[in-house]
Structure 1
Amino acid sequence: MGKTLDSLRSRLLVKIVIPVAMVLFACIFLWADFYVGEQERFARTNLIIEVDRVGNTVQLGLNYAMLLNSRDDIKAIIRNYGRLNEIRAIRLLNKQGQVMFSSGDDEAGGTVDQAEPLCQVCHRLAKPSVKPNLTERVYSDAQAGGEHVLRLVSPVFNEESCHQNTDCHFHSAEEKVLGLLDISFSLADSESLIAGFKKKSVYLACILFFTTFATLCLLIYALIKTPINRIMEQAKILSRGQRPGEQAVRTTDEIGQLSKAINQMGTDLIVKNEQLGMQKNLYRDLFEGVPCLVTVQGRDYRLIRFNRAFAERFAAKVGDHCYKAYKNRDKPCDPCPVAKTFETGKSHTTEETGRYKDGAAAHWIVTTAPIHDSKGKLVAAMEMCLDITERKDLEGELKRSERKYIDIFNNIPSAIFVLDPIDFAILDCNLSAIHVYGYAKDELMGKSFLEFFAEDNWDAFSQAIKTGAVINQAKQVARDGREFFVSINSSPSEFSGKAVFL
């Protein structure tokens, strides 16, 4: 039950309809209450006017009888008017408050005290009011005999016909009011009509409320909820990375514009996602396909990710420490290029040695690169290891071969010189050359080979060396001045990357 209520409260239709319905209900029923109240006041005013009209009619009917002082006629007229359906009583009083005539026989002859509401209509002020207004003349509006009775008093004014051209009447011309006409009027029929009007007004208000409410619900459902549901379905399709096809709502209003914007935004997002997917696949292929070992390590030196080449060569898994995977160590290397990257935020390159999972020794050139998050914080480092094991093996082989040839070069019994091809300066020589010529090696370095010849024909000797011609029985001089004959063979060669003669 609670989930159902929460679901209803969360719906847009309910959030819109309930407040609008409350305002609509309040407005309609306030209007109905105001309208019924106005109609009640209008009906009451008309009823008072009608009672006053009846009173005027009674006075007109009594006028001639009172001029003649025909008491029987007066009594008959009052009784006849008292038989009207709505009239409950009619009394005619003189100025002293004595009931002269009444529609009921039991009231005639009685006296009304001046303190009674009937007399207070005129005598409530120090100076009696001669002509009170219609509202002031209603002196009683209460229940009587089980029904609502309205009592209205009308003054009977002294007329010219009462005191002119006659000697029989005892009222003087100075008297303004001769008496009062008191009428009691039943409101039963009027209240019945008003009650019926109230009931119909309530029915009308309910019909208006429910009709307007239903129309509002239908409009909201048709113009808001249904289009929004379509837009939501469109958004779900977009969230799955699928193209939604045509626009969900094709209208020119705000919801149509919203649908158009969502459709365009979703299409753009799908295109961007496709491009990102292509780039992601490209980067993944590059990451997996590069011929070097690539790992991503966190600040705790644990492996976050690695490529296929690394997985094939090491028995490691995600979460292992890099130093354990590479070198089977229990603590970080010193120095560590990854640690330097975390410290400086820059790339570093070193040469490292370790072993693969098969136990074979390996050598790598290690290059690190920082990895930042979306806020620019350094969170990881990428380590790329290029295998240089073969190169290292070749370097070792080359060094061994070089040592072998150096041993041959130094121990061969013939003197061997390495000469500059331009000025024939000695660049290197073997031990036999040192023994034969009697010079220390540092004395020979830089000395021209042509200086060893006893003859001065250097041009011929230099040309023979350049062309590789054999020089037989050439006389040369040792350091101690001793002369000896040598045979010379020359050939072009390379020494430390430079062209030379041997």
Structure 2
Amino acid sequence: MFSRIIKRLRKLHISLALKIVISLIVLMAALMVGLFLVNIKKYEETAVRNAAIQADEIAAVVKAGLRTSMRLSPRQDTINLINDVGQLAHIKSITIYDKIGNPRFSSDKQIAGDQLPEDHPLCVMCHAQEPPEVYAGINERFSLITDENNNRLVRIVSPIPNEPGCSTSGCHADRSEKQFLGVMELTASMENIEGNISLLVLDNAQYVIFSLVAIFVTLFAVTYRLVDRPIDNIIEGTRRIALGNYDARVDESGNDELGLLARAINRMAKDVGDHHDELSKQRILYQSLFEGVPCLITVQDRDYRLLNYNQTFAEHFQVKHGDYCYRAYKGRDCKCEVCPVEKTFEDGKSHTTEEIGYYKDGSKAHWIVNTAPIYNEKGEIIAAMEMSLDITQRKRLEEDLKASEQKYCAIFNNIPSAVLAIDADTMDIVDCNQTALTLYGCKKGRLLRHPITDFIANDEIDAHIQAFSEAKGLKRTKHVKANGDEFWASVNTTRTQFEDKEVLLTAITDISERISSEEQLIQTSKMATLGEMATGVAHELNQPLAVLQMVANLFRRKLKAQKPIDHTTAQNMSEKISNNVERATKIINHMREFGRKSDIETEAVRINDIIRRSFDFFSQQLALHDIEVQWQLTPDLPIVQADPNRLEQVFINLMLNARDAIDDRCANQPCSQPDRIITLRTRATRRTVIAEVIDTGTGIDKHILPRLFEPFFTTKEVNKGTGLGLSISYGIIRDCGGTIRASSPSDGGSRFVITLPREMGK
């Protein structure tokens, strides 16, 4: 029964704090009860001893009274003394025994007169040794006895010594040699002492119970506050964490072991939550991969039955779990002759095949099939995974690619431009199209495996090598045909990969006809320019001709008058004739040089010299129109590479346009000298040389600026311009590797800026 109670108690939920409190209370109760019992025992022994001492003191008083009563009236006074003492409340009895144990006097009437035997406790107390001790200690002389009512009594035995006054002739003369005359037995009640002990026991029991209750309440409150409530908080937090709420946190404000435990649980919850989130992400990832991967995935047993499949497979086939794979894929009644799943079950390896089947909508499909074994914990193959990647689109693309290859091969061979694939390392031609064979006038074997430099003019090879290294194009260059004839070509180059090699895919276009047309246009423009400057040139020639006419008239008058011409006059006249003829010759040669049709040859020139030559050729035109030229040329500019004749044409065109713009402005409004200015300015940067032609004319509208350099575009009136001047100027500057741009400042007029690359190192 007791064991069943213990088992039931064990099943009850008892908090740790209560267990601790109960354990401490039981321990303290045991200690306090033990201490209580020990104290009661010690108190009782002390009380008994004090009672014995008190009884012994009474006995001593009685013995002192006996001395007097024995001398005066031995019998009656002694009886009276004994009876008087025996009447005391706590004295039970008092008896005097003689030497041989006969009771002589007693306050207890029930004591008989029989002699006490030697083994009586009263006799043994004194006769435990011979001769008997007269003055034995009190511990040997008292004892506890019980009466007929089972009440405890303390009995003290006090020997009555044989004093000198007792052995006289009238008293105990016959016992003068004895040490004592008898013993006095005094029994005292312990009722008061036992009552006090009972009160003490009751008081101490109440104190112990009160202390235990107070300690229990205090310990329970303390442990509930410091242990039970934090533990409940921890248990509640761990319960929430166990239910999956990994964001739940335990109060960790305590700085004791429970606080450390709470912090550890919070860290554990965070780590578990992080791991759970990671596992959830991985599970979702793998599930999404399995369900959303763009291929058909099935898991099959050894009988080729479908154990599982992904959503993509279910969308494409009318199947259910347990169907045969060959029936789902191909509508067959038996497995395929070549089955990768079967091979996987046989050798435990992955296998790949390409198969054809039909989806549930009847469309034909091509698949790349891969298989993989699935093992159990014993290492046995229990299933096979089959993954089928739809390559139907790839099959179609392969067909389209084959058709596209044929199409682009036809385009490559019939494109109007020659296309060469040049090895970037060796500069050998590794492939070409049919147009290239026609352009260079040779067979394919003559082009392939030969360096491209064999088909480039010698003076253009360096420019090609630099352009090829930077994968840049050449707008105008010379190539050589197989028969040695040169032709103008434009080259565009792109780096690419061809048969695992880095090649330069180069498109070459024959621009000989375009160059010829451009040269004709340029020559036409020159002639038009010369025509516009005819009046100014005629005026320029009139001055030296007038001087020559004056000298001739002088010589005619001298000869007619038959007067001699002095040496000084003749010398001066000859110098005037020579200077003016030289001036006229210079003007005519400049016009002839400007007007001649020249080949495109670039050379090192200084742009300031080109501007001055252009002005010398055009200065009389500006003077006739009352236009002032302001010079802002930076001296010692770097050299540029250009065709000087064509570059001169550019500046003449710009000054012609500036002249016309100023005339147009002054034709519509009054103009003073500051309104008729052309500024010629040059400067240099680290990489370029810049020339500017600025006028104070009508300016250029913003909406026509983008079209300003288009061929045949002009803002002049009919029969006053061809629209080719700026277009030709744009082409000349571009062929020199530079740029030309126009703008119209806010204060009026036009501004043309020419930028040419400087020849590095010079």
**What does 1:222-233 correspond to in 2, within 5 Å?**
222-233=225-236
Instruction: Note the residue ranges of structure 2 that are not aligned, 5 or more in a row.
Output: 403-441, 447-498, 500-762
Does residue 92 of structure 1 match 2:96? yes
Deviation at 1:378, TM superposition (A): 6.8
In the other structure, the counterpart of 1:274 is 277
Distance 1:299 1:20 in 2: 68
Give the structure 2 partner of residue 37 of structure 1.
41
Q: Deviations over 1:286-316 (max 9, x none)?
A: 3333321123456776545432210111222
Alignment of 1:53 with 2:34, yes or no, is no
Is residue 2:162 matched to residue 1:153?
A: no
Q: How far apart in 2 are the matches of 1:38 and 1:333?
A: 105
Quote the residue 2:85 is aligned against.
81
Distance apart, 1:95 and its partner CA:
0.4
Q: Give the secondary-structure state (helix, strand or coil) at the position aligned to 2:253.
A: coil
**Which among 38, 63, 66 is matched to residue 67 of structure 2?**
63
Change (3 A) 1:278 1:35: same
Alignment match of 1:364 (pick from 367, 386, 391): 367
Residue 139 (structure 2) aligns with: 135
Q: 2:199 — aligned with what?
A: 196
Q: Is the 8 A contact 2:122 2:157 kept in 1?
A: yes
Q: Higher Cα Rg: structure 1 or 2?
A: 2
Whole-angstrom distance in 2 between the partners of 1:300 and 1:197: 94
Q: Does the alignment pair 1:289 with 2:298?
A: no
Distance 1:373 1:44, change over 3 A: farther
The 3 A distance-change label for structure 1 pair 16 and 331 is: farther
Q: Following the alignment from structure 2 to structure 1, what is the Cα–Cα distance between the partners of residues 378 and 271? A: 25
1:235 aligns to 2:268 (yes or no): no
Q: Percent identity?
A: 39
CA 1:305–1:31: 2 relative to 1, 3 Å = farther
Which residue is equivalent to 1:347?
Answer: 350
Find the aligned partners of 2:304 and 2:191 in 1 and give their Cα distance.
Answer: 100
Distance in structure 2 (CA, Å) of the matches to 1:329 and 1:125? 127
Could you tell me how far 1:254 is from its partner in structure 2? Answer: 0.6
**Distance in 1 (alpha carbons) for counterparts of 2:77 and 2:332:** 139
Alignment check: 8 A CA contact 1:55 1:154 kept: yes
Q: Structure 1 108/63 Cα, relative in aligned 2: closer, same or farther at 3 Å?
A: farther
Deviation at 1:192, TM superposition (A): 1.5
Contact 1:342–1:381 (CA under 8 A) maintained in structure 2: yes
Corresponding residue for residue 438 of structure 1: none
3-12 or 232-241: bigger deviation: 3-12
Structure 1 residue 147: Cα displacement? 2.9
- CA 1:345 to 1:176, structure 2 compared with 1: closer, same or farther past 3 Å? farther
Instruction: Return the offset for 1:211.
Output: 2.2
- Residue 126 of structure 2 corresponds to 122
77-86 or 245-254, larger mean C-alpha shift: 245-254
TM-score of the superposition, structure 1-length normalised? 0.67
Q: Following the alignment from structure 2 to structure 1, what is the Cα–Cα distance between the partners of residues 393 and 14?
A: 69
CA distance in 2, matches of 1:232, 1:315: 52
Q: Shift of the alpha carbon at 1:225?
A: 1.7
Q: In the superposition, relative to structure 1, how do residues 139 and 268 fare at CA in structure 2: closer, same or farther (>3 Å)? A: closer
Question: Structure 1 370/182 Cα, relative in aligned 2: closer, same or farther at 3 Å?
Answer: same
**Residues 99 and 232 (structure 1 numbering): CA distance in 2 closer, same or farther, change over 3 Å?**
closer
CA distance in structure 1 between the partners assigned to 2:322 and 2:166 by the alignment: 127
| Cα distance between partner residues in 2 of 1:383 and 1:49 | 110
RMSD: 4.1
**CA separation in 2, counterparts of 1:327 and 1:88?**
125
| Deviation sequence 1:55-107 (CA, Å, 0-9, x none) | 22222232333355643332222222112111011111210222222224565
Amino acid at match of 2:271: D
Answering whether residue 299 of structure 2 is matched by residue 262 of structure 1, we say: no
Q: Deviations for 1:268-300, whole angstroms, at most 9, x for unmatched residues?
A: 333343344444444444333332112345677
Change (3 A) 1:196 1:323: farther
| Cα separation, partners in 2 of 1:157 and 1:352, compared to 1, 3 Å | farther
Q: What does the per-residue CA deviation read over 1:146-187, in whole Å, with 9 as the maximum and x for residues that have no partner?
A: 6322222111112244348x8865155531111101111111
- Which of 382, 385, 398 is 2:385 aligned to? 382
Partner secondary structure for residue 231 of structure 2: helix
State how far apart, in whole Å, the 2-side matches of 1:106 and 1:5 are. Answer: 61
Give the distance between the partners of 2:305 and 2:360, measured in 1 at CA.
Answer: 18
Q: Is contact 1:8–1:14 with CA below 8 Å preserved after alignment?
A: no
Alignment partner for residue 12 of structure 1, among 12, 16, 36?
Answer: 16
Change (3 A) 1:345 1:263: farther
Alignment-derived partner of residue 116 in structure 2: 112
Provide the TM-score with structure 2 as the length reference: 0.46
Which residue in the other structure is 1:420 paired with? none
- Number of residue pairs matched by the alignment: 404
- Once the 2 structures are TM-superposed, how far is the Cα of residue 223 of structure 1 from its aligned partner? 1.4
Inter-partner Cα distance in structure 1 for 2:91 and 2:444: 164
* Unmatched segments (≥5 aa) in structure 1: 400-462, 468-496, 498-502
Q: 1:357 to 1:257 in 2, by over 3 A?
A: same
